[in-house]
Structure 1
Amino acid sequence: MNESWASDACTLPTAERPFREAEFDQLFADHLLRFRRVDARTLDLTLDPAGRETAAELTARETECCSFFTFSFSGTTELQLRVTVPPTRTAVLDGLVGRLPR
């Protein structure tokens, strides 16, 4: 993960961060249908439902090392993933948005 992603609160070892970044990149490449930045603290992702298991497993691991993230899932025909962060971590969410394909 680059500097805009990793914060002082992240407990993932530095050597593992590029691999986690690549996992998110792959999730987005394979399953992202669209996204919307709701506000500075909130990002809504719409994913192909075939990516549900991958997204759930990846976000669970991300929450373990970056407990400030909140990931919530909804939807059946399209998978909705809402990502929220506290006001002090908006730069980390900015980094995630920067990784999304345009």
Structure 2
Amino acid sequence: MTDQPTSGLAWVPEACTLPTAEQPLRLAEFDALFTEAVRDSTRLSTTHLRLQLMGGADLEPVVRDLTARETQCCSFFTFGIVAPAAGHVVLDVEVPPAHVNVLDALAERADAKRTQP
């Protein structure tokens, strides 16, 4: 995903191999997930973000699919997914120190979308 402010494709790093034309679509998928499912976010370290997600029975497969596709184009992301109960997903997002700015922007975007009225 370019390193820019939090509007638009803010957290799309230059290392992303997703074609530019597809980046807004992927961003929209993340925005929808953040808006609909994120209930809490916790920064466990500068390189580790934990998101608590709640939703329907299809939440876990949706998260697994989206994060798998994201890893294909941004291989520096490490996603950990645990589903402690139906409709509840804990998503751990980790990056190497060189990509902390990307995680910062992702965390800001998740929080902004989660708190939209």
Common fold, TM-score beyond 0.5? yes
Any idea what the Cα deviations from partners look like across 1:11-65, whole Å, max 9, x if unmatched? 0111111111110010111111211111110000111153111111000000000
Bigger relative CO (Cα 8 Å, ≥ 6 apart): 1
Within the alignment, does 1:67 sit opposite 2:75 as a pair?
yes
1:75 is paired with a residue whose SS is strand
5 Å matches for 1:16-55?
16-48=22-54, 50=56, 51-55=59-63
Size of the alignment, in residue pairs? 102
Greater than 3 Å deviation, 4+ residue runs: none
1:11 is paired with a residue whose SS is coil
User: Is the Cα contact below 8 Å between 1:49 and 1:76 reproduced in 2?
Assistant: no
Q: Which residue of 2 aligns with 1:12?
A: 18
2:39 alignment partner AA: L
- TM-score normalised by the chain length of structure 2: 0.80
By how many angstroms is 1:68 displaced?
Answer: 0.2
- TM-score normalised by the chain length of structure 1: 0.90
Q: Which residue of 2 aligns with 1:94?
A: 104
Comparing 67-76 and 43-52, the one that deviates more? 43-52
Structure 2 regions of 5+ residues with no counterpart? Answer: 5-9
Select the residue among 78, 94, 116 that pairs with 1:84. 94
Q: Which residue of 1 aligns with 2:7?
A: none
User: Is the Cα contact below 8 Å between 2:83 and 2:90 reproduced in 1?
Assistant: yes
CA RMSD of aligned residues (A): 1.5
2:31 is paired with a residue whose SS is helix
